[in-house]
């Protein structure tokens, strides 16, 4: 599907087909009237492959809503979203499940590990669900990368928050998804641990070419991105390339002030 890119660097990316595109997406909560919240008011964007895209914005600006819609967890009131060339608006639950298995990985703010499974079992869970064969080498490489090779038989309750999030990242990567979504991946961690997690995310983009969309309200988190989208009041108001935390903070202040 062709959309009109609204960012300045469109020319540079024209050869690389976007893996996720959204066009004119709106999302309202509640019924029409006083209680109606317009969380998204017409958002269009596309996500380039092999890059880390950050979605920034003040609290309540609609970042999470946008991510849920991009990832097919939620449906827009208007507009279209396509992932890996498939318009997901028309997909049945079964096809959406198939799409998730093949194309999407998730990293959650609260980790969402299954408490009764060990770290290793959590990591390979998406493979088990899809019924595919485990690529042992790949799993070993991932566990090595997250640095938890000696903790694989521990249960989430026996791991620290940072360790749990590492397991979650490995779990998101294990099926080599077309795109990995992360909603405030450091939101529930202290800044040191958060920094380590960000490093890991950056590393997975650099070394595996993992396309990643990360939602955050933290400028330090957005600093690692190749591209930063700024959301305010349900609209994309700014689209920057890789930027320093300082630049990001400035932009953020600018867009929030409006």
Partner 1 sequence: MRRVALKGILGRKLRATLTGFAIVLGVAMVSGSFVLTDTINKSLGTIFAESYAASDVVVSPRDALAGEDSADTGSAPFPDSVLADVSALPEVEAASGSIEDEATLVGENGSPIGGGMGIALSVDPPADEQFNPLQLVAGAWPRGSEEIAVDKATAEDQGLAVGDSVGAAADGPVETYTVAGIVRYGSVESLGGATIAAFDLATAQQLFDKQNQFDFIRVAAAEGVSSQELVAEIRPLLPETAQVRTAEAQADTESEETQSEVNIFRYFLLGFGGIALFVGSFVIANTLSITVAQRARELATLRTLGASRRQVLWSVVLEAVVVGVLASVVGLFVGLGIAVGLNALLAATGIDLPETGIVFSTRTVVVSLLVGTLIALLASLRPALRATRVPPIAAVREGAVLPPSRLAKFGLATALAVVVVAIGLLAFGVFADGAETRTRLLAIGVGVLLLFIGVTLVAPRLVRPLAAALGAPAARFGGSAGRLARDNSTRNPARTASTAAALMIGIALVTFVSLLAQGLKSSFADAVDELFVADYSLTAEGDFGSVSDATVAAARETPGVTAVSAIRSGEGRAFGGTVGVNGVDENLSAIIDMSWAEGSAEVPAQLGADGAFVNDDYADEHDLGVGSRIELKTPTGEVLDLTVEGVFAEPKGGSPFGEIAVSTATFDGAYAEKENEWAFLNMEGGVTDENTATLTEALATFPDARVETRDEFKATSISDISTFVNLLYALLGLSVLVSLFGIVNTLVLSVFERTRELGMLRAIGMTRRQVRRMIRQESVITALIGATLGIVVGVFLAFLVTQALSDEGIVFAIPVGSLVVFVLVAIAAGMLAAIFPARRASKLNVLEALQYE
Ligand X SMILES: Nc1ncnc2c1ncn2[C@@H]1O[C@H](COP(=O)(O)OP(=O)(O)O)[C@@H](O)[C@H]1O
Please give the residue ranges that form the binding site for partner 1 (CB under 8 A).
Answer: 64, 68, 73-74, 93-94, 97, 100-101, 104, 106, 108-109, 112, 114-117, 121, 125-126, 128-130, 171, 175, 183
57's contact among partner 1, Mg ion, ligand X, none, with CB below 5 to 8 A by partner kind, is: ligand X
Interface residue with ligand X among 19, 39, 107, 170 (CB under 6 A) is 39
Q: Quick check: 24 binds ligand X (CB under 6 A)?
A: no
The CA distance from 114 to 155, in Å, is 9
Instruction: Identify the CA nearest to 105 among candidates 159, 211, 177, 191.
Output: 177
Shortest reach from residue 43's CB to ligand X, in Å: 11
Q: Helix, strand, coil shares of the chain as percentages rounded to 5?
A: 40, 25, 35
Interface residue with Mg ion among 64, 164, 165, 212 (CB under 5 A) is 64
Q: Quick check: 36 binds ligand X (CB under 6 A)?
A: no
Q: Quick check: 94 binds ligand X (CB under 6 A)?
A: no
166's contact among Mg ion, ligand X, partner 1, none, with CB below 5 to 8 A by partner kind, is: none
Question: How would you list the strands of the sheet with 227-232, edge to edge?
Answer: 104-107, 179-183, 212-215, 52-56, 227-232, 235-241
Q: Which is nearer to Mg ion, 64 or 118 (CB)?
A: 64
Instruction: Identify the CA nearest to 52 among candidates 76, 80, 19.
Output: 19
Instruction: Identify the CA nearest to 46 among candidates 23, 24, 26.
Output: 23
The CA distance from 83 to 62, in Å, is 20
Interacting residues toward Mg ion by CB under 5 A: 64
């Amino acid at each position: 599907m062709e959309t009109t890119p609204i960012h300045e660097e469109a020319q540079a990316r024209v050869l690389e087909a976007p893996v996720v595109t959204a066009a004119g997406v709106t999302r309202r909560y509640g019924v029409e009237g006083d209680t109606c919240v317009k969380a998204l008011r017409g958002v269009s964007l596309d996500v380039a492959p092999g890059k880390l895209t950050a979605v920034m914005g003040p609290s309540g600006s609609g970042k999470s809503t946008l991510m849920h819609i991009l990832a097919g967890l939620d449906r827009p009131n208007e507009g279209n979203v396509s992932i890996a060339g498939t318009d997901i608006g028309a997909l049945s639950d079964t096809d959406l499940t198939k799409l998730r298995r093949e194309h999407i990985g998730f990293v959650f703010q609260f980790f969402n590990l299954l408490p009764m499974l060990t770290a290793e079992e959590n990591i390979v869970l998406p493979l088990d669900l899809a019924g595919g064969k485990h690529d042992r080498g790949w799993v070993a490489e991932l566990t090595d990368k997250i640095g938890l090779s000696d903790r694989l038989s521990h249960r989430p309750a026996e791991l620290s928050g940072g360790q749990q999030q590492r397991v979650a990242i490995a779990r998101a990567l294990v099926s080599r998804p077309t795109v990995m979504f992360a909603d405030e991946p450091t939101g529930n961690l202290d800044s040191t641990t958060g920094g380590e997690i960000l490093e890991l995310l950056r590393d997975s983009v650099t070394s595996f070419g993992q396309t990643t969309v990360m939602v955050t309200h933290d400028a330090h988190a957005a600093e690692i991105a190749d591209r930063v989208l700024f959301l305010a009041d349900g609209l994309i108001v700014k689209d920057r390339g890789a930027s320093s935390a300082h630049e990001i903070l400035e932009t953020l202040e600018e867009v929030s002030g409006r």
